[in-house]
């Protein structure tokens, strides 16, 4: 059974940092593009970052460039999102996604709240 389990969310003050993790199982992780998305209730889901299957290329939304870093460890079947200089507008549910051809898998999400 395919599973993507996010962790690492929580409450952090503006300017603080968090590292999210997404542990994958049930599929060949090293063949999949991995991405992070986020969503606030009432708003559309937005892309945060993505990384190619072998980790040789990354892509970020403009508002995240220079603050967020996506990485992966294929030996651990895990993708990470390091979030620095967090802002209140980063508050959202963060979801992990795995994509290959027609396949697309989603995790349940982890909540990130940035507040004083």
pLDDT digits (tens, 9 = 90+) for 8-32: 999 999 999 999 999 999 999 999 9
pLDDT recorded at residue 60 = 97
Rounded CA separation 51/9 (Å): 20
Burial status of residue 107 (CB atoms within 10 A of its CB: 0-12, 13-18, 19 or more): buried
pLDDT recorded at residue 65 = 85
Rounded CA separation 55/33 (Å): 9
pLDDT digits (tens, 9 = 90+) for 41-79: 999 999 999 999 999 999 999 988 899 999 999 999 999
| H/E run at residue 88 | none
* Contact (CB, 8 A) for 103 and 31: no
- pLDDT-derived band at 2, boundaries 50, 70, 90: very high
């Amino acid at each position: 059974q395919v599973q993507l389990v996010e962790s690492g969310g929580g409450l952090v003050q503006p300017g603080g940092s968090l590292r999210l993790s997404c542990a994958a199982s049930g599929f060949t992780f090293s063949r999949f593009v991995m991405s992070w998305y986020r969503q606030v209730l009432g708003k559309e889901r937005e892309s945060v970052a993505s990384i190619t299957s072998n980790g040789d290329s990354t892509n970020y939304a403009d508002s995240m460039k220079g603050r967020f870093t996506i990485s992966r460890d294929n030996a651990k079947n895990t993708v990470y999102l390091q979030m620095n200089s967090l802002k209140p507008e980063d508050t959202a549910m963060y979801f992990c996604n795995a994509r290959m051809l027609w396949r697309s898998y989603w995790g349940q999400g982890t909540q990130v709240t940035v507040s004083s």
